[in-house]
């Protein structure tokens, strides 16, 4: 039976701390009273999970916070129960992920442009849409909770408007809204609406994927990834992680998956393992496994340190030292934190340095990882709001930076050494085109085999791109 507020496993006999004496939470109680707002200056009982999700969403939309960072921090600060934190996380992340689609639904339901609505009211309506259209929250609970949230967070003057638009949103399910809003759209715009992406991202995917795969690739961005851990070689093993409750990854010798918080594992708390997507592990392992002369290794853009931590252990296994360079000092601190568990004669070194103006001499490193800043279109499944925040116009400056960093990587590599050019993006302009452009001016470097493009829908990884080059 679906609980009154839609939270799986909720005990409706439990007294809700945000609404003492009512069963099923304030939403159900309000619904029983009737959802239409009445009176002024009444004290609104607001479900703490919904209030926390609203405050986190405000941080995302008003202050450019990241949902995957702002949410957990706020939910911990508010001391939400495990169940309420799970509800708030789905409410926040799911709303942020489908935000563009919900905005179109809100405009249609409200019969007015979004720009005519107060920003906080828009966020309340976005949360309402997600509860009604994508979660198992009963209509009466979602409507009543939204009205109460509007009264408490914005003011009584907002409750009538929120009530009216929320009721109209509830007139169709998500498929019905998509069908209605798709009328008159061309095939690409309809696909963008159906998969909840801006059109320019759909176009970018369509450039590099067979037509039959584009929708599956876009839909895969709507599925949160399984949490995957990477061991720090020499400090722990996958077997150790399994002993702590993790599950071995089916393909990768350095990876294990885990449900729940990774911090419950001692290996993670002590820096002997860390959270890292399987795609990132694949590109690091491929660089380490490619033949190269002896000599130090370089991670050219190391922040926040996940790949550097894996590469440091792999370098030590081969009797080498990793140098991890990061432009931003605060991110260099994160790199040092990720590498903190390594010690000994080949312990990694962290350098705060601009990769386009290297602080090291050329022709020095045997292996160089150039995991360059990019649009991040390959990691949309783990960054819920990112697809609506990014723009195609940012590509011009990124591509120029990517070319300069790859040039530095080649010039930093000793003859016979290997460069891995990596982006977490499938966009052609910042992947193969960057490599082609740089190689056209670098007769002292050559490609090592075909490039690699990973995909969530094919490989269960972020959409990482890797080109391997050798310095002649």
Q: Is 462 annotated as a binding residue?
A: no
- Rounded to whole angstroms, the Cα distance separating 307 from 321 reads 14
Q: Is 329 annotated as a binding residue?
A: no
What residue ranges in 161-267 does DSSP mark as E strands?
228-231, 247-248, 255-257
Q: Is 354 annotated as a binding residue?
A: yes
Q: Is 270 annotated as a binding residue?
A: no
Query: What DSSP element (H or E) covers 437?
Result: helix 432-440
Catalytic residues: 424
- Rounded to whole angstroms, the Cα distance separating 196 from 199 reads 9
Give the closest residue to 279 by CA, choosing from 460, 68, 469.
460
Residue partners of 347: CB distance under 8 A and separation at least 6: 321, 339
Handedness of CA 18, 20, 23, 27 (dihedral sign): negative
Q: Is 326 annotated as a binding residue?
A: yes
Determine contact, residues 296/219, Cβ cutoff 8 Å.
no
Residue partners of 4: CB distance under 8 A and separation at least 6: 10, 12, 23, 24, 25, 27, 28, 138, 141
Q: Is 18 annotated as a binding residue?
A: no
Give the closest residue to 49 by CA, choosing from 112, 6, 113.
6
What is the DSSP secondary structure assignment for residue 45, as one 8-state letter? P
Q: Which residues are annotated as a binding site for S-adenosyl-L-methionine?
A: 301-307, 326, 354, 371
């Amino acid at each position: 039976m679906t609980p009154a507020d839609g939270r799986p496993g909720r005990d409706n006999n439990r007294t809700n701390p945000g609404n003492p004496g009512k069963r099923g939470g304030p939403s159900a109680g309000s619904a029983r009273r009737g959802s239409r707002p009445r009176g002024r200056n009444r004290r609104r009982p607001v479900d703490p999970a919904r209030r926390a999700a609203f405050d986190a969403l405000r941080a995302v939309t008003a202050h450019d916070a990241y949902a995957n960072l702002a949410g957990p921090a706020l939910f911990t600060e508010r001391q939400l129960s495990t169940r309420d934190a799970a509800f708030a996380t789905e409410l926040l992340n799911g709303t942020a992920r489908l935000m563009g689609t919900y905005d179109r639904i809100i405009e249609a339901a409200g019969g007015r442009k979004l720009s005519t609505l107060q920003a906080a009211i828009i966020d309340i309506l976005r949360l309402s849409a997600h509860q009604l259209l994508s979660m198992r929250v009963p209509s009466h609970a979602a409507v009543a909770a939204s009205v109460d949230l509007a009264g408490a967070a914005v003011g009584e003057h907002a409750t009538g408007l929120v009530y009216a638009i929320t009721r109209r949103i509830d007139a169709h399910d998500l498929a019905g809204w998509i069908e209605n809003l798709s009328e008159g759209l061309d095939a690409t715009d309809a696909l963008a609406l159906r998969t909840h992406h801006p059109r320019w991202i759909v176009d970018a995917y369509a450039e590099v994927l067979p037509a039959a795969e584009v929708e599956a690739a876009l839909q895969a961005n709507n599925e949160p990834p399984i949490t995957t851990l990477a061991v720090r070689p020499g400090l722990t093993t996958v077997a150790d992680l399994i002993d702590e409750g993790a599950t071995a990854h089916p393909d990768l010798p350095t990876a294990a998956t885990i449900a729940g918080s990774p911090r419950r594992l001692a290996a993670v708390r002590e820096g002997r393992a860390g959270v890292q997507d399987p795609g990132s592990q694949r590109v690091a392992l491929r660089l380490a496994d490619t033949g190269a002369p002896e000599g130090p290794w370089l991670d050219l853009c190391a922040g926040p340190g996940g790949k550097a931590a894996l590469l440091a252990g792999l370098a030590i296994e081969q009797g080498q030292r990793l140098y991890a360079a990061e432009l931003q000092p605060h991110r260099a601190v994160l790199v040092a934190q990720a590498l903190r568990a390594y010690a000994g004669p080949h312990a990694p070194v962290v350098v705060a340095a601009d990769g386009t103006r290297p602080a090291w001499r050329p022709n020095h490193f045997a292996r160089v990882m150039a995991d360059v800043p990019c649009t991040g279109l390959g990691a949309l499944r783990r960054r819920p709001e990112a697809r609506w925040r990014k723009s195609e116009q940012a590509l011009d400056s990124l591509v120029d930076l990517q070319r300069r960093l790859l040039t530095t990587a080649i010039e930093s590599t000793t003859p016979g050494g290997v460069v891995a050019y990596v982006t977490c993006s499938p966009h052609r302009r910042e992947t193969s085109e960057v490599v082609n452009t740089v190689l056209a001016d670098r007769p002292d470097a050559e490609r090592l085999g075909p490039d690699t493009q990973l995909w969530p829908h094919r490989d269960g990884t972020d959409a990482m791109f890797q080109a391997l080059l050798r310095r002649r």
